[in-house]
């Protein structure tokens, strides 16, 4: 359901990111109604930046684009004109790069004291690891996520099936920090600098186990506790067709329902009995092998057993629950035509009616945006002639 006014209506964001946590962040903010302008480089330098596929990051729906060569003094001055009327700037370069380019926090606040300047990086702007390169798996590694996940053969830490660090520890972390800073600015009238570390964000995801260790000295890891698979009632099981179900019957009443449904009544009084968990797990596994995944889901998913089917992506795209909630929408790309994509699904985000216009990385809003910032035709023409804008 669409709200009368987008939550971030009127908020203007300049975004230097092309992929990763920064683009996850501004995707969220754009879907809450912010005007997001992607700041890229002219085509002659575009090879220096990662260019995602047309469908990635929700196909850049609703985003605008400006292309500037910030190593050109005139183009840098033009960017500062844009920054003077912006609310937020987000960048994802290595620490120190924006300062060397002359568009860092100190440079921008001279022309716009109310600016909220968000720097997203793997390990933060300070500390001995600040200059390290990394990706999602690296931040999950140092944040304890991989060590607490079910290992593979030989204790091999798993490769997660989602970009958890980029999406949540980075993108949602940055979006939350920016929205909080916008609220704080309403009271103070001042802008601020946000140092968003993806690795720090992973610590918040792992806070339950980190706090347990710090308070008690416990050493969390696979099967150390309920949520890491210590007990048979919180696990995954193969079914007759080779597909899987996930079970999370933590509460006693759900556990009792599960035992009764599986014909495992002998374990009703042993939910948290560590001495028999492998026997319970073996009996549960044998029971689940009697029927297919979908048969078990049809029988137990709605029967207060905390059971769900383990879907592949192609299956969840057809799931009746997601379809009923409008989780997918049509999009239109000028070159690729009509295709489906994930709709804005976070609570309070607006959903357009009809196909959503996808962004086109081959086009630019540079001239319109620079005119709106006060640059004249002659000035824009000179910048274009020397390849400083596109």
Catalytic residue among 166, 200, 235, 283: 166
Per the CB < 8 A criterion, the answer to whether 58 and 341 are in contact is yes
Tokens 């704080």 belong to: 184
Catalytic residue among 9, 135, 273, 381: 135
Provide CB contacts within 8 A for 164, sequence distance 6+. 136, 140, 145, 205
Residues in the chain: 390
Active site residue 99: no
Active site residue 135: yes
d(CA 173, CA 22): 10
What beta strand segments (E) does the chain contain?
Answer: 12-15, 35-40, 64-67, 88-91, 116-121, 192-197, 234-238, 244-248, 307-309, 328-333, 337-342, 356-357
- Degrees, nearest 5: CA angle 176-114-102: 95
- Nearest C-alpha neighbor of 224 from the set 205, 209, 239, 243: 209
d(CA 312, CA 198): 27
Start-to-end C-alpha separation, the chain: 38
Residues with a catalytic annotation lie at 135, 166
């Amino acid at each position: 359901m669409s709200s009368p006014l987008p939550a971030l209506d009127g908020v203007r964001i300049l975004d230097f990111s092309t992929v990763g946590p920064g683009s996850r962040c501004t995707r969220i903010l754009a879907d809450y109604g912010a005007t997001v302008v992607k700041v890229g480089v002219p085509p002659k330098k575009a090879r220096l930046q990662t260019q995602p596929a047309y469908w990635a990051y929700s196909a850049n729906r609703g985003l605008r684009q400006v292309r500037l060569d910030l190593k050109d003094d005139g183009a840098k001055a033009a960017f500062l004109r844009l920054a003077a009327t912006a609310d937020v700037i987000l960048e994802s370069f290595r620490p120190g790069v924006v300062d060397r380019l002359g568009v860092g926090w100190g440079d921008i606040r001279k022309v716009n004291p109310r600016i909220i300047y968000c720097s997203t990086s793997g390990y933060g702007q300070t500390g001995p690891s600040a200059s390290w390169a990394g990706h999602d798996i690296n931040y999950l590694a140092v944040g304890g996520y991989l060590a607490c996940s079910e290992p593979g053969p030989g204790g091999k830490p798993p490769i997660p099936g989602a970009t958890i660090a980029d999406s949540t520890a980075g993108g949602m972390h940055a979006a939350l920090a920016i929205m909080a800073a916008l609220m704080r600015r309403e009271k103070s009238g001042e802008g601020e600098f946000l140092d968003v570390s993806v690795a720090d964000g992973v610590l918040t995801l792992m806070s339950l186990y980190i706090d347990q260790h710090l308070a008690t000295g416990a050493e969390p890891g696979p099967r150390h506790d309920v949520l890491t698979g210590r007990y048979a009632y919180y696990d995954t099981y193969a079914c007759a067709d080779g597909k899987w179900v996930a079970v999370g019957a933590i509460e006693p009443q759900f556990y009792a329902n599960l035992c009764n449904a599986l014909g495992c009544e002998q374990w009703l009084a042993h939910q948290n009995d560590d001495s028999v968990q492998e026997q319970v797990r073996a009996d549960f596994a044998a029971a689940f092998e009697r029927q297919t995944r979908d048969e078990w889901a049809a029988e137990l998913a709605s029967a207060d057993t905390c059971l769900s089917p383990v879907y592949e992506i192609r299956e969840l795209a057809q799931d009746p629950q997601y379809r009923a909630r409008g989780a997918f929408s049509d999009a239109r790309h000028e070159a690729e035509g009509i295709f489906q994509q994930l709709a804005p699904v976070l609570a309070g985000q607006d959903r357009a009616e009809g196909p959503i216009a996808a962004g086109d990385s081959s086009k630019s809003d540079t001239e319109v945006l620079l005119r709106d910032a006060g640059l004249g035709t002659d000035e824009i023409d000179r910048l274009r002639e020397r390849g400083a804008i596109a």
